[in-house]
Amino acid sequence: MIKKLMTVAAVASLAAAPAMAGSIKVGSVAGVTGPIAELVVPIVAGRNLAVEDINSQGGLLNGDSMVMVLSDSQCDPKAGVDAGNKVVNVDQVAAIVGASCSGATNAMVQSVSIPAGIPSVSDSATAPSITDLDDHGLVFRTAPSDAYQGAALAKLAIDSGYKKVAVTYSNDDYNAGIAKVFAADFKKLGGTVTATQVHEPNKASYRSEITTLSGKGAEALALFAYYGGSGITIIRNSLETGAFSKFLAADGMFDISVVEQIGAENLKGNYMVTQAAADPDNESYKTFAREYTEKTGLDPAAPYASHGYDATFLVALAIEKAGSPDPAKIAKALYDVSRAPGEVVRPGEWKKAKALIDAGKDVNYEGASGSVDFDENGDVPGFYSVNTVDDKGYVMAYLR
């Protein structure tokens, strides 16, 4: 369960201090407000914990402080462009961690950071379309593509006994992308998609869309939306009308507010949500989880918290490897520090990493969220959990 103990502003204060002489600025573009604001709190906490580790263990290069400049992308394409323009053109950052959400990320990188030659590493943008961007080697992500998550959810649906499902998705990059992957893989595995309906977010009611989707023998509704945009309303309308009682969803629908507003008694055994996760048995994750829990009071298993830490740590490693805050050199170095060959470096081991790089040795960062070995598209493989509901909240299991 995600503990709502801190706001993004409070979390930002852990690491974001006014820039001084001897500081290197990195953009921290996140959906501070908007449909997933609660999910962004633990992500920003992960980013800032990495900065705290870096600055407390020698800082960047010749002792420069790493300063994260927070800018609100609102999980919205236009706001993403505005947030990107601020950190690139006003704050003049060397790199960007973010943005949150695929639509905001696609818009920001295409309109701002790629033309400016600034590398970005998103910790939560998952749309498959990001893989195919003409990005000149500047766009990376520690969050796995939904090409993996959509397939994982389709297999979960088949393994759970569903043979017929209806599909609805919000009209944005993330939800449209994962819905497409899910539907294709569900059909490949022998399932039938009885109906598909795109919907607009933030409507007061979705009863007409639900009517279109129902009545064709679907055993469940595969819902691709943000919980704060349309998702909770669609579940509520479905239960009120009796159109659907069972739901499949992806990580945009993973928040405790879904359970709080709909009721555990209505979702128990009827709601399965996948999310990109870290392997709890991994040594790097265990190290991260102990420090994250102690210093933030938040749940280290919250969606993309570990990915936020990794994205930030990787940017710092790339700056160190590049020997300067030159964006072009940072982009190239991101590949070098993320994968073999090199001595393994884990979360919290900045002092070790800095000493190795200063000695001219290669490093291979093994992250809290996984190996984070960037491929030629700046993508990483995925690991997922499935979250179901019991009497009190979510129960997490892992898809291995």
Asked, for residue 372, whether it belongs to a domain, the answer is no
- Asked whether residue 13 carries a pLDDT value surpassing 60, the answer given is no
Identify whether residues 138 and 151 lie together within a single domain.
no
Residue range 355-371: mean pLDDT, rounded: 97
Asked, for residue 1, whether it belongs to a domain, the answer is no
Identify whether residues 96 and 245 lie together within a single domain.
no
Supply the range of the domain harboring residue 30: 8-144+280-365
Asked, for residue 195, whether it belongs to a domain, the answer is yes
Cα gap 340→366, rounded to integer Å: 10
- Asked whether residue 322 carries a pLDDT value surpassing 70, the answer given is yes
**69-103 confidence digits (pLDDT tens):** 999 999 999 999 999 999 999 999 999 999 999 99
Structural domains of the chain, count: 2
Asked, for residue 380, whether it belongs to a domain, the answer is no
Quick one: pLDDT at residue 3? 37
Cα gap 373→311, rounded to integer Å: 12
Where does residue 28 fall: left (phi above 0), alpha (psi -120 to 50 degrees), or beta otherwise?
beta
Cα gap 38→179, rounded to integer Å: 23
Helix (H, G, I), strand (E, B) or coil at 43: helix
Residue range 49-53: mean pLDDT, rounded: 98
Lowest mean pLDDT among 17-31, 41-55, 134-148, 265-279: 17-31
Identify whether residues 175 and 246 lie together within a single domain.
yes
Share of the chain above pLDDT 70, in %: 95
Asked, for residue 376, whether it belongs to a domain, the answer is no
Identify whether residues 133 and 191 lie together within a single domain.
no
Asked, for residue 356, whether it belongs to a domain, the answer is yes
Identify whether residues 390 and 249 lie together within a single domain.
yes
pTM score: 0.91
| Cis peptide bond N-terminal to 99, omega within 30 | yes
Quick one: pLDDT at residue 392? 85
Identify whether residues 241 and 390 lie together within a single domain.
yes
Cα gap 326→303, rounded to integer Å: 31
Report residue 238's pLDDT band, with 50, 70 and 90 as the boundaries.
Answer: very high
User: Using alpha carbons only, what angle is made at residue 172 by residues 168 and 174, rounded to the nearest 5 degrees?
Assistant: 85
CATH number at residue 230: 3.40.50.2300
- Asked whether residue 11 carries a pLDDT value surpassing 70, the answer given is no
Identify whether residues 76 and 112 lie together within a single domain.
yes
Q: What integer best gives the mean pLDDT of the chain?
A: 94
Cα gap 199→187, rounded to integer Å: 22
